[in-house]
Amino acid sequence: MLTRIDHIGIACFDLDETVEFYRATYGFEVLHTEANEEQGLREAMLRINGASDGGASYVQLLESTRDDSVIGKWLAKNGEGVHHIAFGTEDVDGDAEAVRGKGVRVLYDEPRRGSMGSRITFLHPKDCHGVLTELVTAAPQATPGH
Ligand code: MC0
């Protein structure tokens, strides 16, 4: 069951500059940064609030680290902006299968590694009214307050 918005993924040209915009404009602080080699990106997670299912809600800022990455290609075509929305669930495997059973294309056969040790998969935007949609199960150690 999808229980919260885990994050809004925003593609940007310059991660440090964009982080500074979110800090100076809204007061959002960076909880976590990491590079994801598989996805070809560098990211910052800005925590907005915690949630009772063990996850939280974030703004996720994404900078491409290679031209042929998903984010690199998307930035070249569209420029900066909202790239995807992610819903949080305790059971990404079960929810991905349930959605697949409803005829929505799930992009990964098995969930892959996401931010902060989470497990993630994506739904094709053409099957979701134009929205690239991610399903996320947070890592146990990502539980707010732990
Ligand atoms: C592409 N399209 C989108 C879109 N990306 N529509 C809405 N939102 C997006 N983000 C549309 C295009 O406009 C195009 O429509 C059609 O989909 C095909 O696009 P394309 O430019 O040819 O791109 P593809 O087909 O090569 O790739 C699209 C696809 C890809 C969704 C399969 O982006 C993908 O595999 N995404 C999942 C992985 C991902 O997003 N990684 C980065 C974040 P028209 O009408 O022009 O044909 S990873 C992440 O965030 C992790 C680290 C985490 O959260 O922890």
Condensed to tens digits (0 to 9), the pLDDT of residues 57-101 reads 999 999 999 999 999 999 999 999 999 999 999 999 999 999 999
pLDDT band per the 50, 70, 90 thresholds, residue 128: very high
Of all protein residues, the one whose alpha carbon is nearest to atom 11 of ligand 1 is: 125
Domains, the chain: 2-137 (3.10.180.10)
* Mean pLDDT along residues 14-32: 96
Q: What's the gap between Cα 38 and its chain centre?
A: 14
Judge whether 103 and 124 are in contact, CB under 8 Å. no
In this prediction, residues 107-128 reach a mean pLDDT of: 97
Whether 60 is a known active-site residue: answer yes
**43: annotated active-site residue:** yes
| Averaged pLDDT of the chain | 93
Which residues is 61 bridged to in the sheet?
10, 44
Ligand 1: does its nearest atom lie under 6 Å from the Cβ of 134? yes
Q: Which of 80, 76, 77 is nearest to 61 (CA)?
A: 80
Strand 2-11 to strand 133-137: parallel, antiparallel, or no bridges (unpaired)? unpaired
**Of 61, 74, 78, which is closest to residue 19 (Cα–Cα)?**
61
